[in-house]
Amino acid sequence: MTHKPEDRPGFADMSALFWPAATGAALTTAWLDAWHKEFSFAAAAAGMMARPPPDWSSPNRVALDLATMELRDFSASEGVAVPVLIAAPHAGNSPTLVDLAPGQSLVQVLLEAGLQRVLVTDWKTATHPMRDLGIDAYLTDLDAAVESLGGAVNLVGICQGGWMSAMYAARFPQKVRSLVLAGAPIDTAAGPGGPGLLANSLPLGVYRQLVGMGQGRMSGRYLMESWKTLHPGHYLGRMLELHRDFAADGDLSRNDAFQRWIDAALDLPGRYYLQVIEELFQQNQLARGCFAGLGRTLSLGDVTCPVWLLAGEADDIAPAAQVLAAAALLGTPEAEIVQQSLPADHLGLFIGAPALQEAWPAIARWIAEKGGA
C-alpha cells in the first residue's frame, strides 16, 4: 500500500513506510512530517502509561564510566581468571535484557556455571552532545574497558553487540581469548532478516531525515514502536508465551520485568545509527572485509581465537544464516569453531528457558576451558 503525499496515515499504517511499496511519492517531507507527528503522539501516550525503567536484577557495581557506557561488574570474586565481557545489545533497547530478572538472567547463568568475573556494557542513551559519535567511539570505549580489565577478555557479543565484538576481535585479536556471537548479524547478505530488509527498502536519505527529526539522534522510542508495528503478531504472541511460562513458574514478577524492558528505549547517536544502516546492512562491509575501524580496514580473517556461534532457527532479527556465515569468514581453525542452532526466536536465545538452562551453561564451560575464565 502506498500513500499519496497528501494522505495522513494513521499509526496502524506506519509499517507501510518501511517497505519498498511505500517509496516514491510517499517519501516526501510532508509524509515524513505526518509520520513524525503520529509517532510523537504514540510515544507520548506510551510515556504516560510507561512502567518504571528496567533495573539490573543482580548485584553489581560500576567499574568504569565512559562516554558511551558504564562498565558494570557482576563478578563473584576478584580472582585472576580472565574476565568475561558481555557486549550487550545496542539497537534502541535496554542492555538489562542480559540480567532481566532472577531466574531469567544470562549473567546469573554464567556466574552459576562457575565463571568468576562477569561484566556487561551498560550502553548510555544518546544525549544531544553524543549525536556525532560513530562506531569508532564505541570500539574505543570497548577497548578502554578491556584495558581496565588487564588487556585480555572473553568476549560475548549479543545481537548488535555481536558485530561490535567481531569488529573488536578483528582489530585487537591479541586481546580476545574466546569469542561468543549470539544472535549477531555478521553477514547481513546471508539471509533475509527484518533489520536488513528494512535498511535496504529505503534510500539512506530517508534515514537521514529521521535522524534530523531527532536533532541528530535516532529515537529509541521510534525504533521500538516501529518494531512492534512491523511484528504485531510476533510481539503479542511472544508476550503471551512469556506470560504463560512465568505464570507456570508462579513468578509473574518476571513478566513485569520483561514489560518494563519492552517499555524502555535508548536513543542512538545519529552518526552511529546511519553507519549501521549504510555500512553494515546496506553495504555489508564487515563481512566483505572493507569496514574501517579505528584507523584500519578490518578483516574477520584476523580473528583466530576459539569461537562459539549461537543462532535461532526462528530468529527473524538475525537469521541463523547471518550468524553462522561467520564461520567461513573467520581465521579461527574449523576445529575451534562451534556452531549451534536452537529452535528459538531472537529473544529466546537470551531469555528463553531452553537456552538459559542448556545452551549457556555449556557455553560457560567452554569459555572456562578455552579462555581461562
Q: What number is the average pLDDT over the span 204-218?
A: 93
Residue of higher predicted confidence among 317 and 152:
152
Is 133 inside a domain boundary? yes
Q: What is the pLDDT of residues 46-76, one digit of tens each?
A: 454 456 788 899 999 999 999 999 999 999 8
Q: How confident is the model at residue 262 (pLDDT cuts 50, 70, 90)?
A: confident
Instruction: Say if residue 140's pLDDT is above 70.
Output: yes
Residue 352's domain comprises 61-193+265-371
The pTM of the full predicted model, rounded to 2 decimals, is 0.85
Is 41 inside a domain boundary? no
pLDDT-wise least confident of 17-31, 248-262, 344-358: 17-31
Residue whose C-alpha is closest to residue 342's, from 193, 182, 166? 182
User: What pLDDT, on a 0 to 100 scale, did the predictor assign at position 351?
Assistant: 92
Q: What is the pLDDT of residues 154-182, one digit of tens each?
A: 999 999 999 999 999 999 999 999 999 99
Is 238 inside a domain boundary? no
Q: How confident is the model at residue 243 (pLDDT cuts 50, 70, 90)?
A: low
User: What pLDDT, on a 0 to 100 scale, did the predictor assign at position 227?
Assistant: 64
Q: What number is the average pLDDT over the span 257-282?
A: 92
Q: How confident is the model at residue 273 (pLDDT cuts 50, 70, 90)?
A: very high
Residue of higher predicted confidence among 224 and 95:
95
Alpha carbon distance 198, 91 (integer Å): 14
Is 134 inside a domain boundary? yes
User: What pLDDT, on a 0 to 100 scale, did the predictor assign at position 4?
Assistant: 36
User: What pLDDT, on a 0 to 100 scale, did the predictor assign at position 56?
Assistant: 95
Is 295 inside a domain boundary? yes
CATH of the domain at 186: 3.40.50.1820
Instruction: Say if residue 8's pLDDT is above 70.
Output: no
**Cell for 157?**
557479543
Q: Are strands 61-65 and 69-73 parallel, antiparallel or unpaired?
A: antiparallel
Domain count, the chain: 1
Is 117 inside a domain boundary? yes
pLDDT above 70 as % of the chain: 79
**Cell for 269?**
547517536
User: What pLDDT, on a 0 to 100 scale, did the predictor assign at position 11?
Assistant: 27
Is 178 inside a domain boundary? yes
Is 217 inside a domain boundary? no
Q: What number is the average pLDDT over the span 251-255?
A: 69
